[in-house]
């Protein structure tokens, strides 16, 4: 295996430019051998105003890593604190690094016209494409293969489809550092296994297309059944809330789980102010809908810059507290929380 930021030209497999319809595994790009697996670290999340600060990539042949590409990149904008807390790359670390003008030609030569694999590939593609347009006034032409989408399609039952979950699924050790080459190498090791399972799932799906008329009817029947079940579940939850409002105690089901109640605080926001703040901080793309629950989690976790956190809290306009119902294991039940549930600052407590 060679380790380099070299510009040695790899042997390539000819591929036509990817369309949006082909981008996430619906073409044959994921079957390519050789193939490039890459990861980027950036100053922030918005590809239009943030910059690449690290490129890590590996070349896979026959399912094995045969070559690496790794380099820091000096950006023309500062690294956001929220991004620094993810990858640990500081402005000082990239102060003497080569510019994207020096790095991109070498990296594009390393990739050739091979497809590239990335986890949430649209993120990496957007930054590389933006750099290509700035430097060469042309779009990136390589196919992209999104392992996030492949993982989601292949194992929909997983609660998370992040890279950590993917590595766990196939028994790989977790990386200590969140850096580009380490992430690319780990993804490169797990990709052949994911590809094998994805191909099996895809083959089964393709075999079902001959039954498409029946499947459409079945889908509609299931949808109607789910709507009826959801209405009944909603009614039952309201009855459970009334049980606790009337002084009822937790109920233990036959499987050992306990029906309990708790209070959850909810906040309304000035959405115009919130959207502008998120966009200014690089935490929100203009075309995306604001995810209020994600904003609440961002504030509660406290892993963002203190000033940004205070500004986010400042866009809140109203707080309400709602009773919620949940089933828990008895070991998680804390009756004492009932006395101070209205005074605690936590998001949710058992009552």
Say what the pLDDT of residue 292 is. Answer: 87
Give the architecture-level CATH label for domain 2-208: 2-Layer Sandwich (3.30)
Say what the pLDDT of residue 14 is. Answer: 35
Say what the pLDDT of residue 351 is. Answer: 34
Say what the pLDDT of residue 30 is. Answer: 87
Say what the pLDDT of residue 330 is. Answer: 76
Catalytic residues: 178
| Domain positions in the chain | 2-208, 228-350
259-275 burial, b if ≥16 CB within 10 A, otherwise e?
bbbbbebeeebeeeebb
Say what the pLDDT of residue 348 is. Answer: 39
Say what the pLDDT of residue 283 is. Answer: 74
Digit-coded pLDDT (tens) for 43-94: 998 898 899 999 999 999 999 999 999 999 999 999 998 889 889 999 999 9
Say what the pLDDT of residue 22 is. Answer: 41
Residue ranges of the chain whose pLDDT lies below 70: 1-27, 175-176, 284-288, 302-303, 332-351
């Amino acid at each position: 295996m060679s380790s380099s930021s070299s510009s040695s030209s790899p042997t390539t497999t000819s591929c036509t430019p990817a369309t949006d319809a082909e981008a996430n595994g619906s073409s044959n790009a994921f079957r390519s051998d050789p193939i490039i697996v890459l990861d980027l670290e950036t100053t922030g999340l918005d590809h239009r105003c943030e910059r690449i600060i690290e490129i890590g990539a590996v070349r896979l042949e026959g399912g094995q890593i045969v070559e690496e590409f790794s380099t820091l990149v000096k950006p023309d904008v500062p690294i956001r604190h929220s991004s620094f807390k993810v990858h640990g790359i500081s402005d000082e670390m990239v102060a003497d690094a080569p510019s994207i003008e020096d790095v991109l030609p070498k990296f594009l030569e390393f990739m050739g016209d091979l497809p590239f694999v990335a986890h949430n590939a649209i993120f990496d593609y957007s930054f590389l494409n933006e750099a290509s347009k700035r430097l060469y006034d042309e779009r990136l032409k390589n196919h992209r293969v999104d392992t996030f989408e492949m993982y989601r399609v292949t194992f929909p039952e997983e609660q998370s489809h992040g890279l950590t979950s993917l590595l766990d699924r196939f028994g790989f050790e977790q990386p200590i550092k969140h850096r580009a080459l380490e992430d690319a190498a780990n993804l490169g090791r797990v990709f052949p296994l994911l590809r094998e399972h994805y191909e099996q799932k895809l083959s089964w799906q393709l075999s079902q297309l001959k039954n498409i008329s029946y499947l459409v009817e079945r889908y509609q029947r299931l949808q109607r059944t789910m709507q009826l079940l959801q209405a009944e579940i909603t009614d039952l939850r309201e009855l459970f809330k009334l049980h606790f409002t009337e002084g009822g105690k937790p109920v233990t089901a036959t499987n050992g789980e306990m029906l309990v109640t708790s209070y959850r605080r909810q906040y309304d926001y000035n959405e115009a102010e919130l959207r502008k703040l998120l966009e200014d901080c690089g935490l929100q793309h203009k075309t995306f809908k604001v995810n209020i629950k994600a904003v609440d989690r961002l504030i509660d976790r406290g892993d963002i810059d203190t000033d940004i956190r205070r500004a986010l809290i400042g866009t809140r306009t109203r707080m309400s507290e709602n009773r919620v119902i949940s089933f828990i294991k008895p070991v998680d039940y804390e009756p004492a929380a009932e006395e101070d549930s209205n005074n605690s600052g936590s998001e949710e407590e058992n009552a």
